[in-house]
């Protein structure tokens, strides 16, 4: 599988190579091997304290001597020092590093060459922890439930995530004809709880008021600390978090959109199981997060799935003819429907008046071929998107009233989060220069359909910018760019975080948002309003 990936010019990457040519020792110059190596390297790094970790001493000294005191030093560029970790007789052509999006449902990784900035391979795995809970909360309870707060549950989840990263490393290396031990660095962006699982830290207090993580800004560690199969001296750099519900994945989004450097205020929306939203510019950053429900990520909804092969990602309904067309992610037969497809479908069904402003299947749908797709009685009504004979697996792809209800809650939560936040910062939506929509959701979503549902504010469509998997992109940037590493820490410090779960205003707004598009029609002037009630 050959893919063209983007290439960014590295600027002081996390691991760096320095050419070293030391004078060989002599009776006149009996400096010890490692002190000699440090001294020679200091010419290239005069302002850094160079430290050799204990477990690298012997191998460094041996290889420096074997290479006759000339070759390439491999260093980890850490905030408090430069770690000298290896010495190679010849400069390597590539210096592979791994970027990781540590997601709740999926882990996505790329192999980045720190010499050229080239992306060499990509790989994805379902998060194996899913067996112990589809969502983060269930997994936190799993750690607490197994054998108490420090119990086995945490160890299980920790081992699973480490195993999954090792498996990704293997896959990446297979694609690039390398070995996992060749991977010299790992940058990780994930939500706060996933980072706790990775670090084997107890997440107990994350989901309990006042929602306090053990750590938001871990110091860099080594792959060997986590028993990863990549190079044991590889630095593991973890994107900082801001709070229990505002993790490194979002900081990654800020990094890769450059929101922290923007002059005019912008917004960043990341919808996973949780909706995390941030507004700000180069001077200030205010964030909040709230449970948007897993409906948009392929959870809960009966035929829901992630945006992958077989997932219906777009649905179009001609309101005149009632003709329904759809496309799947891979253009193959449909097996289910992902978040963006559901939003399209629901918006189309609303415009075709098959569902009403309360998000219920209409008891009096207008005459339309779409009526044929409706089956079941009031309580168990469902809408067939793809009949059994045309689907990928011989089962129809359906949307049920239960699904609709879940989606309504998600869209209401989403809009409430956005309005609560914009209100808190004293702005209105039309003062936003850009709205970045991150995540798989952002990549596939049609903002117009989300506006029709009253999920996103009714703004000019050019305001919306999809940013794809910014978690992975942000990790890649951490690996490649020292400024980005500095910025990530500055961003984490700068963000003011508002806790929504306890915000009265939010609860009021949530109630108002449980209509299509909204109880306050004036907020959505571009959306047709049908009051059949």
49 binds a copy of itself (CB under 8 A): yes
Judged by CB under 8 A, which of 241, 401, 416, 420 binds a copy of itself? 241
Residues whose CB falls within 8 Å of the CB of residue 305, separated by 6 or more in sequence, listed in order: 298, 311, 335, 336, 337, 338
Comparing CB distances to a copy of itself, the nearer of 202 and 257 is: 202
Q: How far is the CB of 286 from a copy of itself (least distance, A)?
A: 14
225 binds a copy of itself (CB under 8 A): yes
489 binds a copy of itself (CB under 8 A): no
77 binds a copy of itself (CB under 8 A): no
Please state the length of the chain: 533
* Spatial CA neighbour of 478 closest among 238, 168, 122: 238
For the beta carbon of residue 400, count every other beta carbon within 10 angstroms. Answer: 17
Q: How far is the CB of 50 from a copy of itself (least distance, A)?
A: 9
Distance CA 533, CA 356 (A): 8
Q: Would you give the end-to-end CA distance of the chain in angstroms?
A: 54
229 binds a copy of itself (CB under 8 A): no
Distance CA 135, CA 202 (A): 17
Judged by CB under 8 A, which of 8, 44, 53, 521 binds a copy of itself? 53
244 binds a copy of itself (CB under 8 A): yes
Q: Mask 119-158, x = binds a copy of itself (CB under 8 A)?
A: -------------------------------x--------
Q: Are strands 15-21 and 70-77 parallel, antiparallel or unpaired?
A: antiparallel
Q: Are strands 266-271 and 495-499 parallel, antiparallel or unpaired?
A: unpaired
Residues whose CB falls within 8 Å of the CB of residue 121, separated by 6 or more in sequence, listed in order: 110, 111, 171, 172, 173, 175, 176
Q: Mask 164-203, x = binds a copy of itself (CB under 8 A)?
A: -----------------------------------xxxx-
- Stretch touching a copy of itself by CB under 8 A, among 89-97, 159-167, 212-220, 359-367: 212-220
Q: Are 72 and 18 in contact (CB under 8 A)?
A: yes
Judged by CB under 8 A, which of 42, 45, 61, 316 binds a copy of itself? 61
388 binds a copy of itself (CB under 8 A): no
32 binds a copy of itself (CB under 8 A): yes
Comparing CB distances to a copy of itself, the nearer of 105 and 216 is: 216
For 207, phi then psi, to 5°, come to: -105, 15
Q: How far is the CB of 478 from a copy of itself (least distance, A)?
A: 18
Judged by CB under 8 A, which of 54, 93, 372, 504 binds a copy of itself? 54
Count of residues of this chain found to bind a copy of itself when the rule CB under 8 A is applied? 49
Judged by CB under 8 A, which of 52, 67, 179, 374 binds a copy of itself? 52
Q: How far is the CB of 29 from a copy of itself (least distance, A)?
A: 8
380 binds a copy of itself (CB under 8 A): no
208 binds a copy of itself (CB under 8 A): no
Q: Are 37 and 84 in contact (CB under 8 A)?
A: yes
Within 13 Å and on the Cβ side, how many CA atoms surround 375?
A: 10
210 binds a copy of itself (CB under 8 A): yes
Q: How far is the CB of 58 from a copy of itself (least distance, A)?
A: 6
DSSP 122-146: EEEEE-GGGGG-SSHHHHHHHHHHH
Q: Are 306 and 440 in contact (CB under 8 A)?
A: yes
**Long-range contact list for 197-200, CB < 8 A, 24+ apart?**
197/129, 197/139, 197/154, 197/157, 197/158, 197/160, 197/161, 198/102, 198/158, 198/161, 198/162, 198/165, 198/226, 198/238, 199/158, 199/226, 199/238, 200/154, 200/155, 200/158, 200/226
Judged by CB under 8 A, which of 103, 153, 180, 213 binds a copy of itself? 213
**What element of type H or E holds 158?**
helix 152-176
Strand partners, 148: none
Judged by CB under 8 A, which of 15, 22, 34, 111 binds a copy of itself? 34
DSSP 40-59: HHHTT-TTS-EE--GGGHHH
- Stretch touching a copy of itself by CB under 8 A, among 10-18, 74-82, 433-441, 442-450: 74-82
Judged by CB under 8 A, which of 23, 131, 152, 219 binds a copy of itself? 219
- Stretch touching a copy of itself by CB under 8 A, among 29-37, 268-276, 347-355, 358-366: 29-37
215 binds a copy of itself (CB under 8 A): yes
List residues binding a copy of itself (CB under 8 A): 25-27, 30-35, 49, 51-55, 57-58, 61-62, 65, 79-81, 150, 199-202, 205, 209-219, 221-222, 225, 241, 243-244, 497, 499, 502
């Amino acid at each position: 599988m050959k893919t063209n990936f983007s290439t960014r010019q590295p600027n002081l990457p996390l691991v760096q190579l320095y050419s070293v040519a030391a004078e060989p020792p002599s009776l006149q110059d009996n400096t010890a091997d490692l002190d000699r190596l440090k001294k020679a390297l200091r010419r290239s790094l005069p302002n850094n304290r160079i430290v050799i970790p204990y477990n690298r001493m012997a191998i460094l000294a041996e290889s420096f001597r074997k290479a006759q005191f000339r070759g390439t030093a491999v260093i980890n560029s850490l905030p408090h020092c430069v770690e000298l970790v290896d010495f190679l007789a010849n400069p390597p052509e590539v210096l592979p590093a791994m970027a990781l999006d540590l997601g709740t449902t999926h882990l996505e990784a790329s192999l980045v060459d720190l010499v050229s900035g080239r992306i060499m391979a990509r790989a994805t795995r379902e998060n194996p922890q899913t067996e112990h809970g589809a969502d983060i909360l269930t997994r936190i309870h799993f750690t607490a439930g197994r054998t108490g707060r420090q119990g086995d549950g945490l160890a299980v989840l920790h081992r699973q995530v480490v195993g999954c990263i090792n498996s990704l490393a293997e896959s990446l290396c297979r694609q690039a004809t390398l070995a996992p031990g060749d991977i010299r660095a790992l940058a990780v962006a994930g939500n706060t709880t996933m980072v706790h699982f990775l670090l084997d830290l107890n997440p107990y207090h994350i989901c309990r008021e006042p929602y306090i993580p053990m750590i938001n800004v871990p110091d860099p560690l080594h792959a060997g600390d986590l028993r990863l199969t990549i190079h044991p001296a590889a630095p593991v750099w973890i994107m900082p978090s801001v709070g229990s519900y505002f993790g490194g994945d979002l900081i990654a989004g800020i990094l890769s959109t450059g929101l922290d450097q923007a002059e005019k205020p912008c917004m960043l929306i990341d919808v996973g199981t949780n909706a995390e939203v941030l507004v700000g510019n180069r001077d200030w950053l205010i964030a909040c997060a709230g449970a948007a429900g897993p409906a948009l990520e392929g959870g809960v909804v009966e035929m829901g799935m992630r945006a992958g092969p077989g997932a219906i990602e777009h649905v179009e309904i001609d309101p005149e003819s009632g003709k329904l067309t759809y496309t799947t992610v891979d253009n193959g037969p449909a097996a289910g429907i992902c978040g963006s497809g559901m939003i399209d479908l629901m918006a189309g069904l609303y415009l075709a008046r098959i569902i009403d402003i309360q998000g219920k299947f209409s008891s009096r749908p207008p005459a339309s071929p779409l009526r044929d797709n409706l089956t079941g009685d009031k309580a168990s009504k469902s809408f067939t998107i793809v009949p059994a004979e045309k689907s990928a697996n011989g089962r129809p792809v359906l949307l049920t009233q239960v699904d609709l209800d879940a989606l309504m809650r998600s869209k209401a939560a989403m809009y409430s989060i956005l309005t609560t936040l914009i209100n808190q910062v004293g702005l209105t939506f039309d003062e936003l220069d850009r709205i970045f929509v991150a995540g798989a959701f952002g990549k596939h979503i049609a903002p117009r359909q989300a506006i029709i549902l009253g999920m996103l504010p009714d703004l000019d469509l050019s305001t919306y910018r999809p940013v794809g998997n910014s978690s992975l992109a942000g990790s890649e940037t951490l690996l490649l760019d020292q400024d980005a590493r500095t910025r990530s820490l500055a961003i984490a410090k700068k963000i003011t975080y508002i806790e929504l779960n306890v915000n009265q205003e939010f609860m009021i707004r949530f109630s108002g948002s449980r209509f299509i598009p909204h109880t306050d029609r004036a907020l959505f002037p571009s959306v047709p309003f049908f009051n059949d009630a």
